[in-house]
Chains A and B, each alone.
Chain A
Amino acid sequence: MAQDAGTDIPGHIAGDGVRRRDFINIAAVSAAGVGGLATLVPLISQMAPSADVLAESSTEVDISQIKPGQAIKGVFRKQPVFIRNLTPKEIAEADAVSVSSLRDPQTLAERTKEGKENWLITMGVCTHLGCVPLGAGEGEVKGEFGGYFCPCHGSSYDTAARIRKGPAPKNLEVPEYSFTTDTVVKIG
């Protein structure tokens, strides 16, 4: 201990037993610790979605060819997105449901844009475990509520793509989108 450069300072000079060496120790370890933690930032965040993946995360869709009652599958963030032109009957069916009885209570109006209630745009990703529900393609099963039906675990969605039956916890997600013209939708 006597050879330790910091230890031979008398107690009354060093104050309450705190040695100069203690300060150096704490400062050195802190600097190394902060530096080490800062190094983790690039090491961890390199795994987050890269710039090109984020750049792909908006897509434009021409909807002029979709007749009432029809739907198309688009691609948004490499996942299917359902764009559906609802018939007046389907809209009436969705509005007739008591919102409070739903698992994930939302009205059709909340899930569409004002004045464009017939355009139902949702992700084609079941909120249970991520399968692609059926019902957007021609001739596919729409399930007992006339919307979408997930074949994996039997979740049924209604004409507003709200979860009505089965294990999924939430309605099909409505992505951010806007109408750039009357016939073009920009998703994302």
Chain B
Amino acid sequence: MSFPWAHEYKPEHPLMQWMDEKLPLPRLVYNAVGSGYPVPRNLNYWWNFGFLALICLAIQIVSGIILAMHYAANGAVAFDSVEHIMRDVNWGWLMRYAHANGASAFFVVIYIHIFRGFFYGSYKAPREMVWLLGVVIFLLMMATAFMGYVLPWGQMSFWGAKVITGLFGAIPLVGEPLQQWLLGGFAPDNAALNRFFSLHYLLPFVIVGVVVLHIWALHIPGSSNPTGVEVKTESDTVPFYPYFIAKDGWAVGAFLLIYCAVLFFAPNMLGHPDNYIPANPMSTPAHIVPEWYFWPFYAILRAFTSDFFFIPAKLMGVLAMFSAILVWFFLPWLDRSPVRSGKYRPMFKWFYVILIIDALVLGYCGGAPAAEPFVMISQIAAIYYFAHFLIILPIVSAIERPEPLPFSITEAVLGQDDQAAPGAAA
């Protein structure tokens, strides 16, 4: 599970020795996130976002459990109970704003984490399983975030729930019964609110479980690094503790500064004012939009305005939206280039930049009203999005001539590697 030069756990205190014999939990921690885990010495700041994601998950779970102590999942009182948290509960406003903005922070961090993976080829062998589990975590996060947004039972909560469960109604034959089964009724109501609360409480712990698998799978080959060259000798690595714990601590400090700035000075910046109006099944808000982190996918959903062969437009939009994430599962096999890091891939580099722009354009269109020119722009951007994964990546990886890779991580850092290649370097 680790490199032969990894430090071994040697408890000195008799109590810890006793513990190590009965239940070697400290040993597990030592090997997972302590000195027992050697990591490449050249990791840059983009590698801090995995740890930051863990911090976000912790913030969400702690603030969420506290909110659940004061929240009531009943259609008649849910909205009022959120206002009760905001106005009456000691520090309730802090907990709610921390949780709502924590979700946004979590998605910012996770999108950077994902795009880090895109650029440095973190999804490539031997780390395919790390990637696949990561996509599963992202899907779970989306489900959790969606159900959490329904709980305040404001207008956006209600109509978001209606539109998103309405997507399932587009499935032929089973669509309508499936939608009624999901909602426990014909429209979002108490039954839906209660089950969303139940699942919103459950799924974060499922995420914790998959995160453990994600880290476990990562620690078998060890962390990747910006050069994409695998670790060769001890000089390529440093122990995770203290080196990267310290660096992650620095990143957490920087993250908390930005997070708290939003939390204390602009807590409603990313929210929607319509959600401060209690849910009203009789009146639709003029402009239904999901939270910002779903905008790119919402744009793809709405990009299909006419029937596609024999598939109705509505179903096509639903299929495209889900495919936009499912295509990530195939990424390790779509990108066939043996070079991992985008740093050494002159063509891929540019398409990566275009993909980022494309995702931002989709995001902007998803938040805009469904009118021209945004529909047309999101159609073009959606086509490009799928073309990037299904056409451009396979072709680029076949025809591209990568730049020469460094001999080793040490060479990339120091300019020479005497230990691994005696005599090879001058």
In chain B between 140 and 198, which residues have their CB closer than 8 angstroms to a CB of chain A?
A: 159, 162-163, 166, 180-187, 189, 191, 195
Interface check A105, CB cutoff 8 A: no
Contact A167 B313, CB 8 Å, known A73-B282, A129-B166, A130-B162: yes
**A-B CB contact pairs (8 Å), 19 listed:** A44-B181, A47-B181, A47-B195, A48-B180, A48-B181, A49-B186, A49-B191, A50-B191, A75-B281, A77-B185, A78-B187, A78-B281, A79-B186, A130-B166, A152-B286, A152-B287, A153-B370, A169-B313, A169-B314
Q: How far is the CA of A33 from the CA of B275 in the complex (A)?
A: 46
Across the interface, name the chain A residue whose C-beta is closest to B170.
A169
Which of B163, B180, B284 counts the most chain A CB atoms within 10 A? B284
SS class of chain B's interface: helix, strand, loop or mixed? loop
Are A79 and B184 in contact, with the CB atoms below 8 A?
A: no
Number of interface residues of B (CB under 8 A): 29
- The answer to whether A17 has its CB under 8 Å from any CB of chain B is no
**Total A-B pairs, Cβ < 8 A:** 72
Q: How many residues of chain A have a CB within 8 Å of chain B?
A: 25
Complex contacts, A151 vs chain B, CB 8 Å: 284, 286
Contact B288 A77 (CB under 8 A): no
A154 adjacent to chain B (CB < 8 Å):
yes
Question: Cβ of A153: which chain B residues have Cβ within 8 Å of it?
Answer: 302, 370
Chain A's interface: helix, strand, loop or mixed, by majority? loop
User: In the complex, which residue of chain B has the Cβ closest to the Cβ of A128?
Assistant: B314
Measured CB to CB, the nearest residue on chain A to B307 is A169
B322 CB, nearest partner CB in chain A, Å = 16
List which B72-121 residues lie within 8 A (CB) of chain A. Answer: none
- Find the A residue at minimum CB distance from B312: A169
What is B's interface to A at a CB cutoff of 8 Å?
A: 159, 162-163, 166, 180-187, 189, 191, 195, 281-284, 286-288, 302, 305, 312-314, 370-371
Contact B185–A78 (Cβ < 8 Å): yes
B168 → A minimal CB distance (Å): 11
Return the contact of B284 from the options A53, A73, A152 (Cβ within 8 A).
A152
B184 touches A132 (CB 8 A): no
**A131, B186: Cβ atoms under 8 Å?**
no
Residues in A109-166 with C-beta less than 8 Å from chain B: 124, 128-132, 151-154
A131 in contact with B180 (CB, 8 Å): no
* Chain B contacts for A132, CB-based, 8 A: 282-284
Nearest B residue to A74, CB-CB: B282
Whether A47 lies near B187 (C-beta < 8 A) is no
Q: How far is the CB of A70 from chain B (nearest CB, A)?
A: 17
Question: Could you say which residues of chain B place their CB within 8 Å of the CB of A50?
Answer: 184, 191
Min CB gap A124→B, angstroms: 8
Instruction: Tell me the bound Cα distance from A53 to B183 in angstroms.
Output: 11
Residue of B nearest to A131 (CB): B284
Given A48-B180, A130-B162, A152-B370, decide whether A53 and B282 contact each other with a Cβ distance below 8 A.
no
Please give, as numbers and ranges, the residues of chain A lying within 8 Å of B312 by CB-CB distance.
169
